Amino acid sequence: MKFLVLPADGIGPEIVDAALTVLRAADRRHALGLSFEFDDVGFTSLKQHGTTLRAETLERAKTFDGVILGTQSHADYPAPEQGGRNVSAGFRIGLDLYANVRPARTRPFLESNLKPGRTMDLVIMREATEGFYPDRNMTRGWGEVMPSPDMALSTRKITRHCSERIARRAFELAMKRRKKVTAIHKANSFHMTDGLFLECVRHVAKDFPEVALDDLLVDASTAHLVRNPERFDVLVATNFYGDILSDLASELSGSLGLAGSMMASDTHCCAQAQHGSAPDLQGQDKANPVSMILSVAMLVDWVGQKRARPEYEQAAAAMQRAVDAVLADRAGRTADLGGTLGCKAFGARVAAALATA
């Protein structure tokens, strides 16, 4: 199996390196037969090629079994016409990575930001190729315009095709978990767009009679996440809602740095940490690589399921257990979690835990 590695910006190279340390340990332990090739995206690519994401990089990525993508400093990129292309969006559209899968769970040995006694174990299934994102709404052009300096308009696109396929992935995942799906919407205000999304979810639900379906307004769902997160199993949402709710859920569970994330189509998958590039920590060995390590574990598990390779699924589970084993020891944490380890040392400790488990 071949993985394409794109370290990208900020702390991206550091957390990707730590994740690769763990992945190589998993490779040795489970005989995965992995190979890696590296390329540039983000500011390094902009400096060398005049764009943060080259078309040939996207085409090349299609030939790999998986992609490992580091964090990007999108907010600091120049305008798109000056080469500042959104890398994540480019991959989501270019490889049709429509399912952004974002789990969030509490751990009994780590302090969460929930009320005492509350626990969380959920997955947000976020549609990632349309919705309230102007770079994903048009075949050509941009989904936002300014008719005058004092007026800005944005176009939202919701389709039956994209809504039904993300709903189907959510129900399939729920069948492997606690068999409950919650559809997140604002159909009382967005009658047509969220109404179509909700219609599609309900249509797909008919194929999964064992799964309980309910729905919540997006504003109400934030309150329930804070007050009663145990009610949730799999949440399915359009792009914008899923983006916001996944950050909230991860932070409530303990930290945005503790949650993995993957982007997947039916044929391609990309591991990407859920947090940003943290340029203020760049090059200081202070970053927490847990999200990147768990994202890579999700990629490995996806490959195992798609290619019918049980050793990959076993390796992914072992990576997740090794992360928890290290986090359970306060001395084995990075500074943001009250420990003293640097990014590189944390990766090495997780690799060691995996090798001896």
Q: In this structure, how many other beta carbons lie within 10 angstroms of the beta carbon of residue 1? A: 17
* Residue 275 φ/ψ, nearest 5 degrees: -95, -175
Residues 6+ apart with CB under 8 A from 117: none
Q: In this structure, how many other beta carbons lie within 10 angstroms of the beta carbon of residue 117? A: 5
For residue 229, the 8-state DSSP code is G
C-alpha to C-alpha distance for 269 and 70, rounded to whole angstroms? 14
If you average pLDDT over every residue of the chain, what do you get? 95
197 closest CA partner among 166, 243, 233: 166
What residue type is 267 in one-letter code?
A: T
Q: Quote the pLDDT of residue 8.
A: 96
Burial of 217 per CB tally in 10 Å (0-12, 13-18, 19+): middle
Q: Quote the pLDDT of residue 355.
A: 84
C-alpha to C-alpha distance for 25 and 201, rounded to whole angstroms? 40
End-to-end CA distance of the chain: 24
β-strands 234-237, 121-127: how paired? parallel
Question: Could you read off the pLDDT of 282-312 as tens digits, one per residue?
Answer: 999 999 999 999 999 999 999 999 999 999 9
C-alpha to C-alpha distance for 178 and 308, rounded to whole angstroms? 23
Q: Contact, 39 vs 6, CB < 8 A?
A: yes
Q: Quote the pLDDT of residue 166.
A: 98
| pTM value > 0.75 | yes
Question: Could you read off the pLDDT of 41-93 as tens digits, one per residue?
Answer: 999 999 999 999 999 999 999 999 999 999 999 889 998 889 999 999 999 99
Q: Quote the pLDDT of residue 133.
A: 83
Q: Where are the beta strands (DSSP E) in the chain?
A: 2-6, 35-38, 66-69, 99-105, 121-127, 144-148, 151-154, 180-185, 212-217, 234-237, 262-264, 269-272
Residues 6+ apart with CB under 8 A from 239: 126, 127, 128, 129, 130, 131, 132, 133, 136
Angle at 147 between CA 92 and CA 150, to 5 degrees: 105
Residue 34 has pLDDT above 80, yes or no: yes
Rounded mean pLDDT, 276-283: 91
Question: Could you read off the pLDDT of 131-189 as tens digits, one per residue?
Answer: 988 877 777 778 889 999 999 999 999 999 999 999 999 999 999 999 999 999 999 99
Residues taking part in catalysis: 133, 186, 219, 243, 247
Angle at 65 between CA 59 and CA 68, to 5 degrees: 80
Q: Contact, 9 vs 70, CB < 8 A?
A: yes
Encode burial over 35-63: b for 16+ CB neighbours within 10 A, e otherwise. Answer: eeeebbbbbbbbeeeebbbbeebbeebee
Question: Could you read off the pLDDT of 189-248 as tens digits, one per residue?
Answer: 999 999 999 999 999 999 999 999 999 999 999 999 999 999 999 999 999 999 999 999
C-alpha to C-alpha distance for 81 and 59, rounded to whole angstroms? 21
Identify the band that residue 119 occupies on the pLDDT scale cut at 50, 70 and 90: very high
Domains of the chain, first to last: 1-98+259-357 (3.40.718.10), 112-253 (3.40.718.10)
Mind giving me the DSSP string for 16-65?
Answer: HHHHHHHHHHHHHHHT---EEEE---THHHHHHHSSSS-HHHHHHHTTSS
Strand partners, 182: 214, 235
